[in-house]
Amino acid sequence: MADDGVLYRVYERRLARELASVPLPQHLGVIVDGNRRWAKASGASTEEGHRQGAAKIAEFLTWCEELSIPLVTVWMLSHDNLRRPAEELEALFGIITDTLEELTDAGYEVRLTGNDDVLPAEVRERIRRRQETAQVTRELAVNLAIGYGGREEIVVAVQELVREMGQRGLDAEQIADGITIEAIGEHLYTRGQPDPDLIIRTSGEQRLSGFLLWQSVHSEFWFCETYWPGFRRVDFLRALRDFCKRERRFGA
């Protein structure tokens, strides 16, 4: 009888073959949930859980590259997470910076998506310097959602839009007419990018929690029980297979 490892590899290869000739997501969103629960279950510290989760991001991106997925948005720190203990946040800020530097060193185009004002000034400066000197050598672009909240993003977009129209001397009625779906879209953090086709969330939670709230109107969702640090390539391939089997009618 074949052992579990052999069966696993056979199944993984079969899934990869199934995906070789079908359209795949052009923008993939990932809610990397479960780092703390993975740490608790493993007898590790919370910080180690976050570090293992960050390491999984780099591995995950290589899986996306293998399948020529061009854009990935990873939610690393939500607006709500800012209520966590100061010690945990300090460690998270360092892990976020280390992750951004690792990804830019690897040649990815990395864009911060969210409110980076929540980061300490020295962390923002370190990130700014790294982005200014980064050399993009890979096809895959990465959005790191930091201090991100979907409602906050929409509010900021509308505020920017209203200010711009006010500076042009438009009156209240003209401003109201100018607030359109297209105009708001041009002021979102993901402006100029396609909306996500598929959003994956790990750890068993089956909700978006505000992730890409505006952009996910036509997204497909895939939830799994696995904590993010334990997420495997076979889980990823299963998510893509399920996505490809769905009929996307976009309301038509």
Active-site positions read 33, 81
The answer to whether 242 is a known ligand-binding residue is no
User: Would the annotation count 80 as a binding residue?
Assistant: yes
Whether 209 has a binding-site annotation, put simply, is: yes
111 among the known binding-site residues?
no
Say if residue 115 carries a ligand binding annotation: no
| Phi/psi at 223 (5° precision) | -115, 145
Q: Does residue 208 have a known ligand-binding role? A: yes
Q: Is 192 annotated as a binding residue?
A: no
Residue 191 marked in a binding site: no
Q: 50 a known binding residue?
A: yes
34 is in an annotated binding site: yes
The answer on whether 35 is annotated among ligand-binding residues is yes
One-letter-per-residue 3-state SS of the chain: CCCHHHHHHHHHHHHHHHHCCCCCCCEEEEECCCHHHHHHHHCCCHHHHHHHHHHHHHHHHHHHHHCCCCEEEEEEEECHHHHCCHHHHHHHHHHHHHHHHHHHHCCCEEEEEECHHHCCHHHHHHHHHHHHHCCCCCCCEEEEEEEECHHHHHHHHHHHHHHHHHHCCCCHHHHHHHCCHHHHHCCCCCCCCCCCCEEEECCCCCCCCCCCCCHHHHCEEEECCCCHHHCCHHHHHHHHHHHHHCCCCCCC
Q: Cβ contacts of residue 118 below 8 Å, gap of 6+?
A: 77, 79, 82, 146, 147
Question: Does residue 195 have a known ligand-binding role?
Answer: no
Gap between the Cα atoms of 234 and 237, Å rounded = 5
Q: Is 203 annotated among the ligand-binding residues?
A: no
Instruction: Tell whether 5 is in a known binding site.
Output: no
> What residue numbers does the annotated binding site cover?
33-38, 50, 78-80, 84, 201, 207-209, 220
Which residues fall in the annotated binding site for substrate? 34-38, 50, 78-80, 84, 201, 207-209
